[in-house]
């Protein structure tokens, strides 16, 4: 799945969005970095936004998060997103991303941390997007499902017409039509198998949509709690 990480590094948002289901299935690390870490280093904030629910607070072998790497590369747009979610994580040297920025006297980055609550709407946008991505895939599968059902109905109608025709034909013609009927039955079985597979995929995607919506709700509650804590 090297293409997944390469897309994140190069800022291929459309690929990441279209294949977001891979965020759960691919190995989380490639070259000691997650996909979100690659995107964070290059300031691809839209990709960071969509990967955040899957990879927030993940650490590499050095204990660095995507936020640590974003600070090291001065990825300002990404820092605005991640400061709320990963600012409390320390690397293997016991340093938070803000402490590293302070040591390097990166005043612009320090200012971003101090005003991080101002940027939370952008971070929360990803949790609205993810169910939409799933729903888009679900819609495609349901369309395929409907098309297959329509095809099956047509095949059943053709089958009935063959049976009616067979009754009025001679033996030789009957044999030919019987062969055709068997072929139609075989095609019908194939369509039914495809239909069962798609039905299973639809149910799986529905379940994943529900799970993502639950995750979105939980994270939004966490964001609200952090905002409340900062305003006290």
Say whether pLDDT at 205 is over 80.
Answer: no
DSSP assignment of the chain equals -HHHHHHHHHT-HHHHHHTTTHHHHS-S-SSS--HHHHHHHTT-HHHHHHHHHHHTT---TT---HHHHHHHTT-HHHHHHHHHHHTT---TTS--HHHHHHHTT-HHHHHHHHTGGGGHHHHHHHHHHHHHHHHHHHHHHHHHHHHHHHHHHHHHHHHHHHHHHHTTS-HHHHHHHHHHHHHHHHHHHHHHHHHHHHHHHHHHHHHHHHHHHHHHHHHHHHHHHHHHHHH-
Q: 2-114: which CATH number, 1.25.40.20, 3.40.50.2300, 3.60.10.10, 3.40.30.10? A: 1.25.40.20
Burial zone of 110 (CB within 10 Å; 0-12 exposed, 13-18 middle, 19+ buried):
middle
Say whether pLDDT at 137 is over 70.
Answer: no
Say whether pLDDT at 64 is over 90.
Answer: yes
Q: What is the pLDDT of residues 65-96, one digit of tens each?
A: 999 999 999 999 999 889 888 989 999 999 99
Q: Which residues of 27-58 are buried (b: 16+ CB within 10 A; e: fewer)?
A: eeebeebbbbbbbbbbbbbbbbbbbbbbbbeb
What is the four-CA torsion angle of 100, 105, 111, 113, rounded to 10 degrees? 0
pTM: 0.54
Q: What is the pLDDT of residues 138-179, one digit of tens each?
A: 566 667 667 777 777 777 787 777 777 666 666 666 677 677
Cβ-contact 66, 36 below 8 angstroms? yes
Name the average pLDDT for the chain: 78
The domain ranges of the chain are 2-114, 126-231
């Amino acid at each position: 799945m090297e293409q997944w990480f390469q897309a994140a590094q190069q800022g291929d948002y459309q690929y990441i969005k279209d294949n977001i289901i891979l965020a759960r299935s691919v190995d989380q690390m490639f070259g000691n970095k997650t996909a979100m870490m690659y995107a964070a280093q290059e300031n691809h904030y839209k990709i960071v936004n969509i990967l955040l629910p899957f990879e927030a607070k993940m650490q590499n072998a050095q204990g660095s998060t995507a936020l640590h790497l974003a600070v090291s590369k001065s990825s300002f747009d990404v820092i605005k997103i991640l400061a709320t979610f990963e600012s409390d994580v320390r690397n293997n040297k016991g340093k938070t991303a803000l402490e590293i920025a302070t040591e390097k006297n990166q005043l612009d980055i320090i200012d971003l941390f101090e005003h991080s609550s101002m940027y939370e709407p952008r971070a929360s946008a990803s949790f609205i997007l993810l169910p939409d991505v799933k729903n888009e895939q679900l819609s495609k599968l349901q369309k395929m499902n409907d098309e297959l059902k329509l095809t099956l109905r047509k095949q059943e109608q053709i089958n009935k017409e063959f049976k009616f025709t067979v009754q009025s034909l001679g033996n030789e013609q009957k044999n030919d039509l019987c062969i055709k009927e068997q072929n139609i039955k075989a095609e019908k079985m194939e369509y039914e198998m495809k239909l069962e597979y798609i039905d299973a995929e639809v149910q799986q995607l529905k379940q994943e949509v529900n799970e993502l919506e639950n995750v979105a709700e939980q994270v939004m509650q966490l964001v609200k709690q952090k905002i409340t804590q900062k305003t006290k």
